Amino acid sequence: MTSVTDLKYLQGYPDAVLSQVKTLIDQGKLAKWVENKYPQMHNLKTEKALYDYTIAIKNRYLKKSSPLSKVIYDPKIHVVNHALGLHTFVSRNHGGKLKAKNEIRIASIFKDAPEPLLRMLVVHELAHIKEKEHNKAFYALCCHMEPDYHQLEFDARLFLTYKEMGSR
């Protein structure tokens, strides 16, 4: 039987939702649900492909925002620590001029994920360019760039649970 503590990626969701997920797991149906809903993984395996993919989304929705200097898969990001991706803003002094760099790092586990889940994560990190905090404006921007953002975020958490269970 699955306990609530086994659902670390879903902490904070209502008990009714957790109960449904536990039932799926206990009946051995979570893998089938994930595989049926997301039968294909993306083919963005290189950091160049990930960068180009991210820039295309940025150019569509955030044309006038600060440029991105780097977008990479990062094996050091541990999804267990509640980080699926990171947006960093680095300011450096170069010859008396302040240079700002925006970088996005995506957890390496998303190298082998369905494209909609990767897109949700990229959208999340791009939204941090304009909105630093997880507030109403931040989530409104996420939903503007990806209308199914909230469902995809939940599905990403189910995907992580599925991946972790497969490694046991």
Tokens of 15: 């008990």
CA-CA distance, 168 to 164, in Å (whole number)? Answer: 7
Which CATH number is correct for 41-156, 3.30.2010.10, 1.10.300.10, 2.60.40.10, 3.40.50.720?
3.30.2010.10
Res 37: pLDDT: 97
Residue 147 DSSP symbol: T
Q: Are 9 and 157 in contact (CB under 8 A)?
A: yes
Q: Closest Cα partner for 80 from 162, 9, 167? A: 9
Res 92: pLDDT: 61
Q: What angle do CA 147, 56, 123 make, to 5 degrees?
A: 40
Total residues belonging to the chain: 168
Res 53: pLDDT: 98
Q: How many CA atoms lie within 13 A of 128 on its CB side?
A: 17
Domain ranges of the chain: 41-156
Q: Which amino acid is at 51?
A: Y
Res 93: pLDDT: 64
Res 80: pLDDT: 47
Q: Are 103 and 87 in contact (CB under 8 A)?
A: yes
Q: Are 149 and 123 in contact (CB under 8 A)?
A: yes
Tokens of 168: 């046991």
Q: From residue 106, how far is each of 4, 5, 23, 110 by CA, in Å?
A: 27, 25, 30, 7
17-36 burial, b if ≥16 CB within 10 A, otherwise e? ebeebbebbeeeebeeebee
pTM: predicted TM-score of the whole model, two decimal places: 0.86
Q: Of all helices (H) and strands (E), which one includes residue 130?
A: helix 115-130
Question: Which segments in the chain show pLDDT lower than 70?
Answer: 1-5, 78-94, 98-100, 167-168
Res 78: pLDDT: 66
